[in-house]
Amino acid sequence: MAGYFTYFPNFNYVSRVADPSVRDEVIPVKNIFKRPRLRDDLQVFTVFHDYMIEEDQRPDQISNRVYGDTRFDWVVLLANNITNVREQWPLESLVFDKYCLDKYGSHEALAEVHHYETIELRDTYNRLVIPERLEVDSDFSFNVIEYNDRKQEEVTYGVTPSHGDLTYDQQGNAKDSNGNVIRNSKVVPISNYEYEVELNDAKRRIRILDQSFLGTVIDDVKRIMQYKDSSQFISTYLKQSYNPRLG
């Protein structure tokens, strides 16, 4: 079975040799500006399966596991509209650690607070009051009218004593006049490292095209990659490009 770039058509690229007497020499090259896409009627849930990318797993390894051939890695990427693997695929462990250190400068900086999030909170009847992972300030607090086993009353969650005027930084730290961070028990700090891990892990959930539709996608790609009749048309997989030397 052919690899991804074998499906790409060519165009005759004008030779860049220095000899000015050579005016019409061309070299066939792959037209990387053409890009396939899944057709609309394949964009349904029954055609795909959920998949979690494992640690350090590459597209070609997933392709081999699912389709029995590493050369269908492009199908894995195409199904998830991934055009930049470095930006849209989870980084491998060593690459990820280096990326974090390069971005933040030190392990100490990675341990600093990036933001704060709520923990899930339910009342005495197990009704959801506050969902988890809402991004809030460190001194987050709120009041709610709760009908509990005693009576209907206003309950305050995350009470903090008065600290006077507070200032807030970009990370959501509420600080008093002495620079002390005021934090309530109903929120948790998320470090820079934890934040980056979460972003990287969010890329692990992808969808995999069912193997029974693989042939359909390959046929579609072959059709999409063909040239249509035009003034530059030579064949379905070759066209002429503009030659500035011929004016």
For the chain, the structural domain boundaries read 4-91+202-246, 94-199
pLDDT above 50: residue 24: yes
Q: Cite the beta strand spans of 106-227 per DSSP E.
A: 113-118, 121-122, 128-130, 135-136, 142-147, 152-157, 167-168, 174-175, 181-182, 187-191, 205-209
User: Who's near 214: CB < 8 A, 6+ residues apart?
Assistant: 67, 72, 75
Answer yes or no: is pLDDT of 177 > 70: no
pLDDT at 162: 57
What was the pLDDT predicted at 159? Answer: 46
The pLDDT, as a whole number, for residue 75 is 94
CA distance 68 to 214: 12
What's residue 244's pLDDT? Answer: 61
CA dist., res. 67 & res. 58, Å (int): 14
Most confident of the ranges 17-26, 72-81, 115-124: 72-81
Give the chain's length: 247
- Tell me the pLDDT tens digit for each residue of 178-189: 777 767 777 889
Question: Which segments of the chain does DSSP mark as H helices, in order?
Answer: 59-67, 73-79, 85-88, 93-104, 107-111, 192-202, 214-224
Residue range 81-120, pLDDT digits in tens: 999 999 999 999 999 999 999 999 999 999 999 999 988 8
pLDDT of residue 168: 75
Burial class (CB in 10 A: 0-12, 13-18, 19+), 100: buried
Q: Nearest CA to 157 among 115, 116, 120?
A: 120
Reply yes or no on whether the pLDDT at 19 is more than 90: no
Q: For residue 13, count other CB atoms closer than 10 A to its CB.
A: 15
